[in-house]
Amino acid sequence: MDVDAVLFDLDGTLCTADQSGEQLYFGAFDRAGVEPFGRPEALWEALDYPPPPGGWRASLIAAFAKVAAAHGRTVDAEALAAGFQEVADPGAVSFRPGAREALASAREVGPVGLVTNGPERRQGPKLSTLGLEGRFDVTVFAGDAVERKPHPAPFRRALDALGVDASRAAYVGNSLEYDVAGAAAAGLVSVWCPDVDGTEPDGYRPDHVIEHVGDLGSVLRRGDRP
Ligand SMILES: [Mg+2]
């Protein structure tokens, strides 16, 4: 791949959350003093992503209320949302295996950037845990802006800051819907590294697919064009 800069997604690409869905979901019931019901998957499904203008808390309250309604329960959704946020530690993340190697390989190519859909308030503690604070040549927290991935705007902001043409940059991400589609819309070379085994690209067309993010180096060193 012949590029001059590499941009990365954060969640699910460079890092994974240390807290399980069960820990967060049932922890919220515990904090709120509500007898638990349901499963975390239903809550994730009910959550708006990206969060609505009312913010993460509003989205959590609505989602808990929805899950409760599906179970025919009436609960204090505000208490559950508050409990959830008490339990959730935004800085509890670890590097995905191979992520450090991927960053080092990208660094050999040129400037390295981060384009994440989360707001700085949520993503900053993760970068600090990983020792990545201030380590990118450009960081775009799209969650603090109006346009988020898959909109091309956050990619353009990063490229403008670096002075690199979109066609000369690669974007590495785990999401087809946000990363691969967004990179394509902005004209970057997309590199998809699924974080769930056996996922198929369906209708999406990543320019490159790597099984592990640590394989990025071999793709970058290959001289071919996508
Ligand atoms: Mg991701």
| Per-residue CA distances from 103 to 2, 122, 205, 215 (Å) | 17, 21, 23, 11
Q: What angle do CA 189, 193, 198 make, to 5 degrees?
A: 130
> Does some domain include residue 113?
yes
3-state secondary structure of 102: helix
Q: Distance, CA 217 to ligand 1 centroid (Å)?
A: 19
Residues 101 and 212 in one domain: yes
pLDDT in tens, 154-212: 999 999 999 999 999 999 999 999 999 999 999 999 999 998 888 888 889 999 999 99
Which residue carries 């802006």 as its tokens? 145
Determine the pLDDT at residue 209: 96
Query: Same structural domain for residues 102 and 65?
Result: no
Specify whether 132 is located in the same domain as 168: yes
Same domain, 181 and 135: yes
Last residue of one domain, picked from the residues 87, 106, 135: 87
Q: Which CATH number goes with the domain that contains 142?
A: 3.40.50.1000
Contacts of range 190-193, beta carbons closer than 8 Å, 24 or more positions apart = 191/1, 191/216, 191/219, 193/13
Same domain, 75 and 173: no
CA of 203 to the centre of ligand 1 (A): 18
| Total structural domains within the chain | 2
Which residue from 10, 18, 41 is spatially nearest to 93, judged by alpha carbons?
18
Asked if residue 174 belongs to a domain, the reply is yes
* Residue 25 and residue 13 in one domain: no
| Domain boundary, last residue among 54, 87, 120 | 87
**pLDDT at residue 50, as a whole number:** 61
Gap between the Cα atoms of 179 and 186, Å rounded: 10
Percent with pLDDT over 90 in the chain: 83
Helix (H, G, I), strand (E, B) or coil at 45: helix
CB 133 within 8 A of CB 157: no
Q: How close is the Cα of 14 to the center of ligand 1, in Å?
A: 8
Question: If we measure between CA atoms, which residue out of 17, 8, 122, 156 comes closest to residue 25?
Answer: 17
139 domain residue, yes or no: yes
Q: Report if residue 226 sits inside a domain.
A: no
Res 200: pLDDT:
86
Residue 81 lies in a domain: yes
One domain, residues 9 and 51: no
The mean pLDDT value of the chain amounts to 93
In angstroms, the first-to-last Cα distance of the chain is: 7
Cα(175) to centroid(ligand 1), Å: 6
Based on the fold, state whether residues 101 and 124 are members of the same structural domain.
yes
Backbone Cα Rg of the chain: 19
pLDDT single digits (tens) 56-81: 889 899 999 999 999 999 999 999 99
Q: Please tell me the distance between residue 86's alpha carbon and the centre of ligand 1 in angstroms.
A: 23
- Give SS3 for 153: helix
In the residue annotation, 9 being an active-site residue is answered as: yes
pLDDT cut 70: percent of the chain above it: 96
In a domain, 194, yes or no: yes
Same domain, 145 and 210: yes
β pairing state of 15-17 and 93-95: antiparallel
Specify whether 197 is located in the same domain as 98: yes
Q: Are residues 137 and 191 in the same domain?
A: yes
Ligand 1 center to residue 72 CA distance, Å?
Answer: 33
Domain with 40 in it = 21-87
User: Residue 137 and residue 162: Cα distance in Å, rounded?
Assistant: 7
Of 87, 104, 123, the domain-final residue: 87
Summarize pLDDT for 88-111 with one digit per residue, the tens.
Answer: 998 999 999 999 999 999 999 999
Residue of 9, 11, 207, 215 marked catalytic? 9
The whole-number pLDDT of residue 223 equals 64
Report how far ligand 1's centroid is from the alpha carbon of 122 (Å). 14
Does residue 47 sit in the same domain as residue 11? no
